[in-house]
Amino acid sequence: MAPYLFLCLFPFFPHLYASFSSSGSHSCSSLIQFKDSFSITEVASLYCDEIAGLKSYPKTNSWKEGTDCCSWDGVTCDHLNAHVIAVDLSCSWLYGNFPSNTTLFLLPHLQKLNLAHNDFNQSKIPSEFGGFTSLFYLNLSYTGFAGEVPSQVSYLSKLVSLDLSCWADEQFTIDKHALEGLVHNLTEVRHLFLDRMDMSSVNAHVFMNLSSSLRSLSLAYCDLQEKFPKNIFDLPNLNLLNLGGNPNLNLDPLKFNRSSNLEHLDLSWMSFSTDFIDSIDNLQALKYLDLSGNSFFQGLSFSITNLSSLEYLILRLANVFGGLPDSMGNLVSLKLSGPVPRSLGNLLQLTHLDLWQNQLSGQIPRSLGNLLQLTHLDFAEPIEWANSIVNSKPNAAGILGNIWKFF
């Protein structure tokens, strides 16, 4: 009875048949061979837990030869024909050289590949990656790949998301032609993360023709040179822009468009020295702003109050001559160095206050005791401050309860 029923189902549920067919098991043995080229060690994904805040564990431990790989942890198949279409081995403790002839390349239907936060021991990215022509998501961030990114990555013209961010010590580089190809061919790209890739030999102008679908562009610490194309700031869907840590990049005069949907802007450590961001007032959707490490000789020339959506303001080691404005909007998080504005006590929604490397010479604003939502507080000279808060306001008890958590 049961076998008969099974056969009868095939015309209606072809995927049932396909998952038992031989095309599926080929892919399974390719995956096993891929996994076997690495050793499994927790340190390979250490920073996954520590920095990305994700849980790492050896996903491939559940991969057993002779079982259907469509059910393995990190593997997704197309229901219709049992092709492996997604492999997510991010944070999976993989360690070892990445073989350029790996059987992973025998999975031509792959649409999503995430190998982030493993350690491929300074291997080069094999040019064969360019053969994954169905890929729309590729994430090789923090994988210990090193050397030059092969120009074949630009063949992946369906990519919607590409993350090749790396550690500073990996000397991951990309040359002018590869980057030009990438910008030219990736017409669908929405999320592009290339943090810390060495672009010192490339003119930042190359990013001019990026897809108008772009939502995230992250080029932190890339050693970008010359002028950044202005039109990027006008991209209607741009939500995240991180250009932090590029002191040689020429941005000014910076004009933000009123119709901008930018929510996350990082322009830290750019060595600006003028009031280059007048038009930041236009960014009505802005929630996160990092201007650490810059100098503002005429104070902050924009009005934080006018940034009605701003929640996170980070000004670590910024020189703000003329101090901060008295009114500071609706911040929930503030990371400051430099003088502490009195109006801090007006930020009733504040949950994170970080006064890292502050010169705490002046008076502690008594109003700090108003910040009853505060759950995170960091500052340099804790004990004196804690005492001052105790002495400054009877209702400081709420904040104090939180302070002691940090010592």
Under the rule (CB under 6 A), what is the footprint of ligand NAG?
33, 52, 54, 90, 96-97, 99, 101, 103, 114, 116-117, 121, 139, 141, 154-155, 157, 161, 163, 181, 184-185, 191, 193, 205-206, 208-209, 234, 236, 257, 259, 281, 303, 306
| Closest separation in Å from C-beta 191 to ligand NAG | 5
SS3 call for 11: coil
| Closest separation in Å from C-beta 70 to ligand NAG | 21
Task: Name which of 283 and 374 has its Cβ closer to ligand NAG.
Answer: 283
Q: Provide the token pair at 324.
A: 């901060």
What does R_g of the chain's alpha carbons equal in angstroms? 26
| Of 172, 116, 180, nearest in space to 149 by CA | 172
Burial class (CB in 10 A: 0-12, 13-18, 19+), 165: buried
Q: Provide the token pair at 281.
A: 């007032």
| Closest separation in Å from C-beta 403 to ligand NAG | 31
| Closest separation in Å from C-beta 387 to ligand NAG | 37
Which contacts (CB < 8 Å, 24+ apart) does range 332-337 have? 332/373, 335/292
Task: Name which of 258 and 405 has its Cβ closer to ligand NAG.
Answer: 258
| Closest separation in Å from C-beta 351 to ligand NAG | 23
Task: Name which of 89 and 377 has its Cβ closer to ligand NAG.
Answer: 89
CA triplet 8, 10, 16: central angle to 5 degrees? 130
Closest residue to bound ligand NAG by CB: 181
CA–CA distance, 130 with 122 (Å, rounded to integer): 19
| Closest separation in Å from C-beta 353 to ligand NAG | 24
HSE, CB side, 13 Å, CA atoms: give it for residue 146: 13
How are beta strands 295-296 and 352-355 bridged, if at all? unpaired
Task: Name which of 207 and 379 has its Cβ closer to ligand NAG.
Answer: 207
CA–CA distance, 270 with 247 (Å, rounded to integer): 4
Strand partners, 299: 297
User: Contact 81/23 with Cβ under 8 angstroms?
Assistant: yes
| Closest separation in Å from C-beta 253 to ligand NAG | 12
End-to-end CA distance of the chain: 69
Task: Name which of 259 and 363 has its Cβ closer to ligand NAG.
Answer: 259
CA–CA distance, 113 with 159 (Å, rounded to integer): 11
In order of 19, 74, 92, the CA distances from 60 in angstroms are 20, 8, 7
CA–CA distance, 59 with 265 (Å, rounded to integer): 35
| Closest separation in Å from C-beta 108 to ligand NAG | 14
Task: Name which of 89 and 353 has its Cβ closer to ligand NAG.
Answer: 89
Task: Name which of 116 and 334 has its Cβ closer to ligand NAG.
Answer: 116
User: Contact 270/243 with Cβ under 8 angstroms?
Assistant: yes
| Closest separation in Å from C-beta 24 to ligand NAG | 19
CA–CA distance, 238 with 211 (Å, rounded to integer): 10
| Closest separation in Å from C-beta 54 to ligand NAG | 6
For the chain, the 3-state helix, strand and coil shares in percent, each to the nearest 5, are: 30, 15, 55
Task: Name which of 187 and 392 has its Cβ closer to ligand NAG.
Answer: 187
Task: Name which of 206 and 331 has its Cβ closer to ligand NAG.
Answer: 206
Task: Name which of 102 and 392 has its Cβ closer to ligand NAG.
Answer: 102
